[in-house]
Structure formats: structure tokens, C-alpha cells
Amino acid sequence: MYLRRLVHNFIALPRSRKKFIFVCFDVALLLILQWASFSLRLKVFFVPNFSQAILMIAAPAIALPVFIRMGLYRSVLRYLPERAIWTILQAASIAALGWVGLVFLTSMTGHGGAGVPRSTAVIYWLLSAFFLVGSRFGMKWLLRDKPGSRADTKRTLIYGTGRSALQLTRALTTAHERTVFGFISDDASLQGMDILGIRVYPLQGIPAVIANFGIDEIIVTTPSISSAAHRDLVQKLSDLPVRLRILPAIADLADGKYSMRDVRDIDIDDLLRRSPVPADPELMRGVIEGRVILITGAAGSIGSALSRTVAKLNPQKLILMDFNEYGLYEIGREIAKNAGFPVLRVLGSVTNPELARRTLRQHRVETVYHCAAFKHVPIVETNCIEGVRNNVLGTWTIAEAAHECGVKTFVLISSDKAVRPANVMGATKRWAELIIRHFAALSDTETGVNFSTVRFGNVIGSSGSVVPLFKEQIAAGGPVTLTHEEMTRYFMSVREAAELIIQASALSKAGDVLLLEMGDAVRIRDLAQDMIMLAGLTVRSDENPDGDIEILTIGAREGEKLHEELVYEPSGIQRTRHPKILRARRFNGVTTEVPGHLSAMFDRVEAGDEVAVRQMLFDFPTHREEHAQERELRAAEV
């Protein structure tokens, strides 16, 4: 019991104090071994003369710099690897040779009583090597991990040496949930140094550190590096047999506010080829705070993320609308739990005009974010009539109600598939954009409602994204299926999309189409490889036949484009005050034809005439020459 308490107290000591104790122990040990060497050689209880005493004292004085240089005081004894025996033997040998050199330089060798017998050096070397190795591995045995002890905490390396890394280290030390064994730095001037008493290692030396100390995880604390550098870093670290985690950039905003909740697993968002820009709080609050907000499709992936973001900005009232009963219940319950304002749930479809008008009038809605839409390309392709009913008729119904009820702001959430659409889903979103432009033109002369569109690419993890499918396929052991080797898509995180939608609505003018800057297009095959890597697995290929998951190409589906676009004419793009929000060139076409075309289309929807609906869907009423080219492109791609 007493020994266990002593060991526990020793473990709790600061590293600097432990090092001092080890140094004192080695000095005492080497002095004792020097005396024992003389006694064993002379076979008497040795009493040194003055000169011999000086040489005995010189032994630890020579050995300590050697031990320090060779890292004998840097090792954590509880995790000392067996190969450290060789390092200790080398250090003991060099120290013994140094002492022998001193003896020869002082001409103290010889068998006389006043000198140093030559064989004493051999005995000293043998004893020092044995006891230095034995003492350290004996301490390792005493300090070995025990269930419930602090050794059970996660053994952690921290990538980075900046302010974030140091603050996180202090927080981890206080929390006693993780033990930091080292920092990783690309700065050569810091490598080999100690920060906060913890060693700094180069990236290429990490495999040895992991093996020596039994590291469980690496936490990345460099949120300011570029997205490309971040991606390369994660790919390098992913080959190591440890768990990768990341400290979000938001933790840099305030000193001393790190907690373990801030540290999360690295996920696919961290590998997107884009550099997120922090949200502008003034833009966010200006269009939400104190207003009555309606979000359609609130139970969907984008709608629910938008609802969470809006809820943080203190609206006067938040109304969530969806025909998914369980999803509406869940998102409403989640938001109402911490809301200081009314959160109302409206169960129903945006295609119901009476429900739309009643909701807008009864609650005096000021802002509508229209997210409700069917987005899964293959399903909408084979269910054309219902896709048109929900995406086109639903947009007309809620937009017409907003126009009649005098809503201040109406924002349509659109898609890059609306640009030169090659499938039914894209065509329905294109019609939704035309509807918003039609009502924007009416509002310019009648009500002054700000109708605008926000267009962007894929959102990671949304219902129409490939990410959930890839996750399911990886969990099942593969294969992961691609439709084309060179297919690319634009991606952003759902959180960033929600924030940018709100900021875009603050920058919009009636009739605007605002584009969210999506960064570089991501090759879907690269996305699949990244997801396999994040799952801790490897890709099976000709070069790696023993890999875990195979990637198969199965061929493009009907209506699927190889590459998506965000805008018809890139030269018409205008910058806004936000670096990630762009404004497309103003639409100058006539929108008065829109109601007539839609009326005819809706008649065919009610009649169930899918052939006619599909034909009318791609017959847009404006820019006929341009859309004739679009149809030719679509036919060529299909």
C-alpha cells in the first residue's frame, strides 16, 4: 500500500522534477558503482585517497552530458521500449570510455595503491551498463499501467505548436482525460526542443514515437492552414495506426475556452477542397433577429441545418413546415429545447395553397426560406410527375402566397443542377428559379417583396448526396460504386451552406440569383478514397490487392451529368461584400410567359400525362435559343 502511494505520488510530479530525481539517482548510482569497482578489483573494503576520490567524482560528471545528449532523460519510463536497452548500453560505454580517457590523461593507471587498476574500468563499465538498464526497466515495472490509474488515459500527440496547441495541452492536463506525449511540428528550429516540458518531434519521426509510447490519437490544431495543405496533412497522418482528431477553428476565437467537446473526429468536411470563411455576424443577425421566419422543408438535411442556424440568431418566431411528420417532430423538439422564442411546427405540403396562405397570414411571416424539394436525381427522374408537383407547383404555390400576403423576403434554395439541366430534378429547379424571377418582376411594381434565389452545389451528407451511400457501402465491406471515373461535383459542408444562405439573403435584391462559391470541383473517386481512408481502411486495387474496400465503376445513370456548373456565363459574375457569395448577371428576359406555360404543365400533371410533362419541363419560356443548345447538350450527354 505504501509503495503504491509512493509510485502514485511520483507519477503526479511535474516532468522537470522527475528529471531532477533521475539525475540525482544516476549520480549516486555511478558513485556507488565506482566504489564497488575498486572494492571488487582489490577484494577489500575500498577507502579512496584524494586523487582516487576526484576520479570517482569525475565519473558522473562525464556521464551526465552523455546521458542527456542521448536522450536518457527524455523517455517516459512507463512506456520505455525494449530497444532502449541498446541506447542505454551505448551511453554507458561512451561514459566509461570518457572516464578511462581521463584516467590515462592524469597518469593514474597502475596497480599501486595510489592509482587506478586497469581492470577497474572494465568492471565499472559492466556494472554501470547492468544497473542503468536494470534501474530503468525496474522503474518501468513499478510504474506499469494499472486498471483505473491515470495510465488508462488516452496517450496523445498534438500536431502544431501554436497558441491553439498550447491552450489545448493545458486544458488536457487539467482534465486528466488525455496525456500529451509530444508535439509535431514542421518547424525545424523547434524539433528536438521542449515546450511546456513536452518534446517536439518532426513529422517523419512520428511512427517511432507512436511505437515507443503507445500513442492512441493525434489531435490536429492547425485550422489556419490552407484547405489543400490540410488535406495533404490528413492523408499523411491517415496511414498511422492511431485515431485522428481535430480542434475546430472556432476554438481560436477566445483564450482559455478549450474543452474536450471542442475536439472531434476528422470527417469528410475537413477534406473538402475549399477554405471556409467565418460567417459575418452582422449580416446574419440583420435578417433574422426579431423577425418571424418560415422554413419550408425544415425536416430535410438543408432545411434542418438552416433551422438550427436561424435558431441561434434569436428570431421573434420560427415556423417549421414539412410533410414528414417524424422529421418535423424531431427538428422542432431539438430547437425548442433551447429556444427563447416560439417554435411552431406546420405539418403539410407546400403544394397546399390554403395551408400556405393561412400560415403566412396567421403568423405574419416576414421571411421565407423555401428549402422544400425532392432532390434525389434518379428517383425524381423516374417519378417525373411527382417531382414537378412538389418542386415546381410547390414553389409556385408558396411564392404566390408570399406575394399576396406581403412577405418581406422570399429566398429559394436552388441547385447547380438548374444550370443547363440534364435531368428532371435539375429542370424542376430551373423552373423554380423562373417562378421566383416572375414574382420578383411583379413585386417591383406591386408589393415590393424581395424574391431571390440562392444557388449552390452538393452539400455533404444531404439526402441527394453520395456520401450517405458511400458510408453504407463502406460499412458493409464494399464495394463502393461510382458511375464514372472522371465525374466531379461541387461540395460544401451543411453548416457552411446554412450560414451562407442567410448571409446571401441579406445581400440580395429582388430578382437576384446569388451563388455560393464552392471552391474546386471534387472528383467523386477521390471522395470515395477519402471516405475509405477516414474509416481506417485501404482501397483494394491492382497496386494494393490486399486492400479492404474495392471501388467499382458501374456506368452513368440516366440524366446524370459528368460535370455540374454553377452559372450559365462565368463572365457575368459579380462580387459582393462577402468573398464566398457571388451575384449572377441580372435576368433581362420576359417572365410574363411563365404563368401560361406552368398552367399548361400543371394541367398535364393532373392528367397524369408523363410524356407531355417531361417534354414541357424542358421547354423553358425564355432565352429559347440558349435552351435549344441546352437540349442538344443534354441529348449528347445522355
- The pLDDT, as a whole number, for residue 51 is 79
Residue 106 lies inside a defined structural domain of this protein: yes
Q: What is the mean pLDDT of residues 384-402?
A: 95
Residue 261 lies inside a defined structural domain of this protein: yes
- The pLDDT, as a whole number, for residue 633 is 41
Residue ranges of E strands in 290-333: 292-296, 317-322
Highest mean pLDDT among 68-72, 206-210, 443-447, 555-559: 206-210
- The pLDDT, as a whole number, for residue 274 is 55
String of DSSP letters for 248-270: -GGGGGSTT---GGG-EE--GGG
Q: Which amino acid is at 230?
A: H
Classify strands 264-265 and 450-456 as parallel, antiparallel or unpaired: unpaired
441 and 403 together in one domain: yes
Q: Any idea which residue has 521500449 for its cell? A: 81
Q: What is the mean pLDDT of residues 354-366?
A: 95
- The pLDDT, as a whole number, for residue 634 is 45
Please say whether the beta carbons of 576 and 582 come within 8 A.
Answer: yes
Q: Over 80: is that where the pLDDT of 549 sits?
A: yes
pLDDT in tens, 507-519: 888 778 888 777 7
**pLDDT bracket for residue 32 (50, 70, 90):** confident
345 and 414 together in one domain: yes
| CA 383 – CA 387 distance, rounded (Å) | 6
Classify strands 513-516 and 581-583 as parallel, antiparallel or unpaired: antiparallel
Lowest-pLDDT range of 115-119, 126-130, 338-342, 417-421? 115-119
Instruction: Check the CA dihedral 259-265-266-267 and report its sign.
Output: negative
16 and 119 together in one domain: yes
Look up the CATH number of the domain holding residue 232. 3.40.50.720
457 and 561 together in one domain: yes
- The pLDDT, as a whole number, for residue 103 is 78
**Number of independent structural domains in the chain:** 3
495 and 359 together in one domain: yes
**pLDDT bracket for residue 372 (50, 70, 90):** very high
Q: What is the mean pLDDT of residues 339-356?
A: 94
- The pLDDT, as a whole number, for residue 212 is 78
The more confident residue out of 585 and 541 is 541
87 and 28 together in one domain: yes
255 and 301 together in one domain: no
The more confident residue out of 493 and 595 is 595
Residue 274 lies inside a defined structural domain of this protein: no
pLDDT in tens, 458-491: 777 666 677 778 888 888 888 888 888 888 887 7
- The pLDDT, as a whole number, for residue 135 is 79
Q: Over 70: is that where the pLDDT of 566 sits?
A: no
Q: Over 90: is that where the pLDDT of 390 sits?
A: yes
525 and 450 together in one domain: yes
- % of the chain exceeding 70 in pLDDT: 77
pLDDT in tens, 138-194: 777 766 544 334 445 778 888 888 877 887 787 776 666 678 888 888 888 888 887
**pLDDT bracket for residue 272 (50, 70, 90):** low
- The pLDDT, as a whole number, for residue 447 is 64
**pLDDT bracket for residue 364 (50, 70, 90):** very high
Mean pLDDT of the chain: 79
Q: What is the mean pLDDT of residues 411-417?
A: 90
Other residues' Cβ atoms within 10 Å of the Cβ of residue 21: 11
13 and 101 together in one domain: yes
| CA 375 – CA 293 distance, rounded (Å) | 23
Residue 430 lies inside a defined structural domain of this protein: yes
86 and 211 together in one domain: no
Q: What is the mean pLDDT of residues 281-293?
A: 89
CA dihedral 459, 460, 466, 468 (to 10 degrees): -130
DSSP class of residue 389?
A: I
pLDDT in tens, 60-114: 888 888 888 877 777 666 656 666 788 888 888 888 888 888 877 776 655 445 5
pLDDT in tens, 210-227: 887 788 888 887 655 555
Please say whether the beta carbons of 487 and 524 come within 8 A.
Answer: yes
| CA 316 – CA 293 distance, rounded (Å) | 8
Q: How far is CA 482 from CA 378, 467, 479, 535, in A?
A: 14, 12, 10, 18
Domain boundary among 266, 293, 325: 266
CA dihedral 458, 394, 384, 429 (to 10 degrees): -40
- % of the chain exceeding 90 in pLDDT: 23
Q: What is the mean pLDDT of residues 19-32?
A: 84
Coil, helix or strand at residue 343: strand
**pLDDT bracket for residue 627 (50, 70, 90):** very low
172: containing domain = 153-266
Q: Dig out the grid coordinates for 312 from the structure.
A: 441561434
Q: How far is CA 213 from CA 79, 99, 171, 252, 364, in A?
A: 5, 33, 21, 29, 63
Domain boundary among 142, 177, 207: 142
Q: Over 90: is that where the pLDDT of 119 sits?
A: no
Residue 276 lies inside a defined structural domain of this protein: no
- The pLDDT, as a whole number, for residue 444 is 66
Q: How far is CA 602 from CA 50, 382, 397, 413, 417, in A?
A: 111, 18, 12, 22, 22
Helices (H) and strands (E) in the chain, counts: 22, 23
**pLDDT bracket for residue 250 (50, 70, 90):** very low
The more confident residue out of 263 and 379 is 379
Other residues' Cβ atoms within 10 Å of the Cβ of residue 379: 15
Residue 580 lies inside a defined structural domain of this protein: yes
- The pLDDT, as a whole number, for residue 3 is 57
Please say whether the beta carbons of 293 and 369 come within 8 A.
Answer: yes
| CA 341 – CA 364 distance, rounded (Å) | 15
- Residues near 391 by Cβ (< 8 Å), separated by ≥ 6? 373, 374, 380, 425, 428, 429, 431, 432
- The pLDDT, as a whole number, for residue 125 is 84
544 and 465 together in one domain: yes
C-alpha 252: how far from chain center: 15
| CA 136 – CA 114 distance, rounded (Å) | 34
- The pLDDT, as a whole number, for residue 110 is 55
Q: Over 50: is that where the pLDDT of 256 sits?
A: no
50 and 169 together in one domain: no
